[in-house]
Structure 1
Amino acid sequence: MNESDTSGSNPKSDCTLLNPTQIDEMHQMDFVGPRFIKGYGAISSLHLIDVVSTRVHIEQFDSKHMDNVIAFLIKYWSNNPIPKYLQVDNGMYFIGDFKNPRGFSRFVRLCLYVGTEVVFIAPSSPWMDGSIENFNNWFGSKFWDKETFEDMEDIRTRSLHFVDQHNDLGAWKKRNKKLEQVEPVRILKDAAEINLNKLPVTDGAVHFIRPVDDGGRINVLNEALKVGKEFISEYVWATIYTGTRKMNVYYRAKDQDVAVLIKEFDYELNMGVEPRRDDIWKT
């Protein structure tokens, strides 16, 4: 079985170890597009959703580039709480290149720097990002594919009204639910002082949901790692702990409440790891 194709399998494992119940506990992020606007060119839309509150934030760009992802997050995190987890797919604008092993992209480094833990879903598995995919479908049918736009300014202006309507409706639907805010609330301060071209690797965690291939291996950051043939066709959860330079791999069967540690690797890095700074957040 190809590691990125589990359509013919019937995994007995839970794909995720997370069950968010609080606002800003987990966000999901994804690109939509590109869409080609006559007389202007290609536009892609970057979407962020809070899994619990369903509140969204979006912005359009002329390309799916990591620079745009970073600018989007810096602006958002300077005015809104940083989530505990940020779940994304394996696009190069998030994970980086598909060649060099154990390399941390600038996106991952930024997330480590601000204290959020990235979760990469399994390759070619958009259903694992159910919340953002549901919004993407709503965005497509109610706005993206329905309206005619003139240029970037036009779509950005009009998309703000669409998002406000979506968030107002989501708040109304959850009006009787007592949703709690994850603690502590952390908002980025002095973002302009961050050297985005020289972001360090910071002490933290990065997570990967991965299928086990026919050789009993998973692929994490362009490196095949053996976890055991008994887990072939199953999904496992791999976590890199940058501070201790370890990778732990967990498995949880669907009928089990607790994940089991099935493998531990030494995970040496070719760069230093800096401690997380607590002075980067607003008080």
Structure 2
Amino acid sequence: MKNANEHEERHKAVELYNEGIGFNEILKRVQRTRGWLAKWLRRYKEQGVDGLRDQSRAPKKLWRKTPERMVKKILSIRDELEAHKTRRSVFSGIGPEVIRWELKQRGVKNAPSIPTISRILSKHGKTGKAKPKRNSSNQPYPYFRTQKMGDLHQTDLVGPRYLRGPKGVTRFYSFHTMDVAGHTVFASQFSNKQTISLCKHLVETWRNIGIPEVSQMDNEMAASGGGRYQYSISQVIRLHLLLGIHMVFIPQGEPGRNASVESFNALWQERVPQRHKCPTMYSIRRTSRRFMQYYHYEKPHRGLTDKGHGTRFPGMLRDHLWKTLRHLPKEFSLDKYIGANGHLKLPVSRGRISFVRKVDSHGRIDVNSFPYFIRRKLEGQYVIATIFTHRRKLVVKQDKDIIKSFPFPIKDKIVAPLLSYANR
């Protein structure tokens, strides 16, 4: 009973009613509404004095309670997946979506929904790790379009990581590139993160998942060039320009702007080096290739639907859309641009490179590690600074409006790209 006085008022109202007192008079004496009086008189007539007590609002029956047999099946599959002993579970996850997929693969009828499986796992202490926090900002961010496969690639690296084998410790890096709309990924491992390694990774990526209109990365030195010279153009940027790709650098210190590939990084680390013993570069590459096969053709992706994409498997979607994607010229090779000293020397092609930047408290942004004053009143807001190589200019925009422009005197001769530049 929430309130003893409330209980007394109900009894008083019923007694007055039994004495023949009219509705209006009863309402005056108990100071309640007509609906309140009608409710408790109805309860009294149906249940007697016991009807004047507060009743539990909990449902009398759990009509949709999951059968105990199904609960045991779900927990059994969860334990089986966690052991990673079967061919299907060697790279699989252990979450509710994977468990529901496994139930359907085994022909289990009336499989519970993903939220129901999630509640069952939580009740039995079988929940996984919390998701990492993404970047949060009150300022609008200038995202690039990702409507279809080939619109946007995100590239990042994992490392350094270490392999321990009979010949000692081997350091390696794993480069990952993801097509954001299609969820296809290419991964390659190198013993260093030098520019030539990143360029080799990108070329093989584009051979396997097509060339994007926009390629997005963080400000890793191998990609940006490190900012040794204010007007320098790194070899990675030159590679993008040569193939007609708009390269975009995300803001410094905001890795969450590359959220799609960052999520894959965590998945790859969990399913490949942390789950499998790989003593050599050969073994880590072989295991990674096996995982990529699983990821593309055996693991249904939550971002794909049969209705919207015709398949839930990234590899099948890529195969279906292969002819619609842009591709490397057949004879293209980095070897053509490697000098006698082993260094890469690519030309600067006509095109553009963009830097998404947040204006600091002094009204400045950094491009190539050099400051450019924009406006103090734009502090904390995002702008896009774009280098147009053929115009030798750096143009700063916000919401498509030009805020400021600066000369960007590139010394190299500007050549035509090998592929047509996509208009945006």
Quickly name the TM-score band, shorter chain normalised.
0.7 to 0.9
The equivalent residue for 2:277 is 148
TM-aligned CA deviation for residue 90 of structure 1: 0.6
Give yes or no for contact 1:210–1:237 (8 Å, CA) kept in 2.
yes
The answer for unaligned runs of 5 or more in structure 1 is 1-6, 253-258
Partner of 1:90: 219
Identity over aligned residues, as a percent? 27
Answer yes or no: is the 8 Å Cα contact 1:30–1:48 preserved in 2.
yes
C-alpha deviation, 1:175, in angstroms? 3.0
**Paired residue secondary structure (1:69):** helix
Question: What is aligned with 1:4?
Answer: none
| Cα displacement string for residues 231-274 of structure 1 (whole angstroms, at most 9, x for unaligned residues) | 1111211111111122221223xxxxxx3322222322222211
Structure number with greater Rg is: 2
Distance 1:157 1:181 in 2: 25
Aligned to 1:222: 369
Match of 1:266 in 2: 407
For 1:70, the aligned partner's letter is C
Q: Which residue of 2 aligns with 1:12?
A: 139
Q: TM-score, normalised by structure 1?
A: 0.86
Distance in 1, matches of 2:323 and 2:148, equals 5
Work out whether residues 239 and 249 of structure 1, in 8 Å CA contact, stay in contact via their aligned partners in 2. yes
RCO greater where, 1 or 2, for CA within 8 Å and sep 6 or more?
A: 1
Task: Report what 2:326 is aligned to.
Answer: 185
CA contact under 8 A between 1:54 and 1:170: conserved in structure 2?
no
Secondary structure of the residue aligned to 2:150 is: coil
Q: What SS does the corresponding residue of 2:307 show, helix, strand or coil? A: coil
Q: 1:175 aligns with which of 298, 306, 309?
A: 306
- Tell me which residue corresponds to 1:199: 346
Q: CA RMSD in A?
A: 2.4
Rounded to whole Å, the distance in 2 between the matches of 1:248 and 1:183 is: 32
| Superposition pairs of residues 1-283 of structure 1, within 5 angstroms | 10-14=137-141, 16-38=142-164, 39-168=168-297, 169-170=299-300, 173-178=304-309, 185-192=326-333, 194-196=336-338, 197-252=344-399, 259-278=400-419
Q: CA deviation at 1:160?
A: 0.8
Tell me how far 1:171 sits from its aligned partner: 5.8
Whole-angstrom distance in 2 between the partners of 1:182 and 1:260:
36
Instruction: Indicate the SS of the match to 2:308.
Output: coil
Aligned length: 266
Counterpart-to-counterpart distance in 1, 2:324 and 2:407: 32
Greater share of residues in strand: 1
Cα distance in structure 2, aligned partners of 1:143 and 1:79: 21
In structure 1, the residue corresponding to 2:269 is in which secondary structure? helix
SS of the equivalent of 2:265 reads helix
Amino acid at match of 2:150: D
CA contact (8 A) 1:78 1:191 kept: no
Distance 2:191 2:369 in 1: 28
User: CA contact under 8 A between 2:135 and 2:254: conserved in structure 1?
Assistant: no
Deviations 1:105-146 (A, max 9, x none): 111111100111111011111000011001111112222322
When residues 175 and 65 of structure 1 are mapped into structure 2, their CA distance, relative to the original with a 3 A threshold, is farther
TM-superposition CA deviations, 1:179-232 (whole Å, max 9, x none)? 877966232321236314221110001010111112111110122111101111
What TM-score, normalized by structure 2, do the two folds share?
A: 0.58
Check whether the contact 1:24–1:182 (CA below 8 A) recurs between aligned residues. no
**Code of the aligned partner of 1:206:** I
Describe the shift of the 1:231–1:174 C-alpha distance in structure 2 as closer, same or farther (beyond 3 A). same
8 Å contact from structure 1 (residues 80, 187) kept in 2:
no
In structure 1, the residue matched to 2:122 is: none
